[in-house]
Amino acid sequence: MKKIAILGSTGSIGTQTLDIVRNYSGELQVVALAAGSNVELLEKQVREFQPKVVAMWSEKAAMDLKERVSDLEVSVLAGMEGLLSVAVFPEVEVLVTAIVGMIGIRPTIEAIKAGKDIALANKETLVCAGHIIMPLAKEHNVSILPVDSEHSAIFQSLNGEPKNRINKILLTASGGPFRGKRKEELQNMQVEDALKHPNWSMGRKITIDSSTLVNKGLEVMEAKWLFGVEPEQIQVVVHPQSIIHSMVEYVDGAVIAQLGIPDMKLPIQYALFYPDRRVMNEKKLDFFELQNMTFEKPDTETFYGLKLAYEALRSGGNVPTIYNAANEKAVALFLEKKISYLQIPEMIERSMSKISKIENPGVEQILETENRVYEYIAGLV
């Protein structure tokens, strides 16, 4: 029985992870869960999966949950302390980081120190702290198993291949709901328009990120840390059908890819059972139904959030944190309808030019940078 914990169990990745646990209840056991404030759903999950410890970010929600589940033997915790307790809970073997945003940094680091393998969906953590997390994982002999579909595809395409023979990584992108649009057309895009992703059903923040191509920018940075390649070796290829989930080109010109229907359950399940593969009773790819696969260059003039990501990655230090924190704040403001769509990349660009650079930042400096960016953006709106 593999014992797992999930940070962000009530979200898109979290609930799909629990679907897999439900299918493999004889082999996977949930021992700890954490979420933000969705008490109703977390209560249901606690009753069904019977974890030993749960945490809610919101103190109020935690108190509410504690009352609701007082008939069960489960400890209910709150805040960062709660997230950390879930992450390092002694029985946990694999921590699924399905929380959204930089809040995942500290729990992920503590889990690695406690020797837990990480099934990583929370890309923001690697973007900001990859230089801390990757060496730490090596030191503690811990596996970082990618859940992000592109990175899972790359991971699968690297199986059994010599790592020093990679020419480049071809990171595929659907292009999002605004593919083909020009800047003028994006001016008046509303939250509802940006939330209509053509192929994937995901949480709100990542869906907005997909529409701006900032998600792809974050994924470029995530790929650098996971696979130890240089920015020049990561090429984004727009592939609107989202069938090829990413590819690796080797020095001899061979390209190895992983294909499948767009369904996050596959990469999640692969991470949970790696290196094994298990039956998944979902629709399979039918090449006759799939008439064609097309490819385009990304439009990095209109969707310049992607270009800024490469700049942030090349600068290094805390610049990826500035990029990420500015995006997190700007997307939150856009979702609250306080700024317009095009102000998202604008705020990233302005933050990157305004906030001072720190080389090789530690966790405290990463979190300080986040605060500085938030203050700067608060001053802009």
Q: How many helices (H) and strands (E) does the chain have?
A: 16, 11
* Residue 110 CB, nearest approach to Mg ion (Å): 25
Measure the CA dihedral 357/215/280/225, to 10°.
Answer: -20
Cβ nearer to ligand NDP, comparing 69 with 358: 69
DSSP H helices in 195-342? 204-212, 214-227, 265-273, 305-315, 319-335
- By a kind-dependent CB cut-off of 5 to 8 A, residue 99 interacts, out of ligand NDP, Mg ion, none, with ligand NDP
* Residue 148 CB, nearest approach to Mg ion (Å): 4
Three-class SS state of 167: strand
Cβ nearer to Mg ion, comparing 150 with 299: 150
Residues engaged in binding ligand NDP (CB under 6 A): 8-14, 34-38, 57, 83, 98-100, 103, 121-124, 148, 200, 202-206, 264
* Residue 196 CB, nearest approach to Mg ion (Å): 17
Partners of 121 in beta bridges: none
Q: In this chain, which residue has its C-beta nearest to Mg ion?
A: 148
- The answer to whether 259 touches 273, Cβ cutoff 8 Å, is no
Cβ nearer to Mg ion, comparing 124 with 148: 148
* Residue 8 CB, nearest approach to ligand NDP (Å): 3
* Backbone torsions φ then ψ of 321, nearest 5 degrees: -65, -40
* Residue 149 CB, nearest approach to Mg ion (Å): 5
Residues engaged in binding Mg ion (CB under 5 A): 148-150
Q: In this chain, which residue has its C-beta nearest to ligand NDP?
A: 11
- By a kind-dependent CB cut-off of 5 to 8 A, residue 117 interacts, out of Mg ion, ligand NDP, none, with none
Cβ nearer to Mg ion, comparing 148 with 299: 148
Which H or E run includes 6? strand 2-7
- What one-character-per-residue DSSP string does 75-91 give? EEEEHHHHHHHHHH-TT
DSSP state of 306: H
* Residue 79 CB, nearest approach to ligand NDP (Å): 8
Cβ nearer to ligand NDP, comparing 76 with 264: 264
> For strand 144-146 and strand 117-120, is the pairing parallel, antiparallel, or unpaired?
parallel
Cβ nearer to ligand NDP, comparing 318 with 327: 327
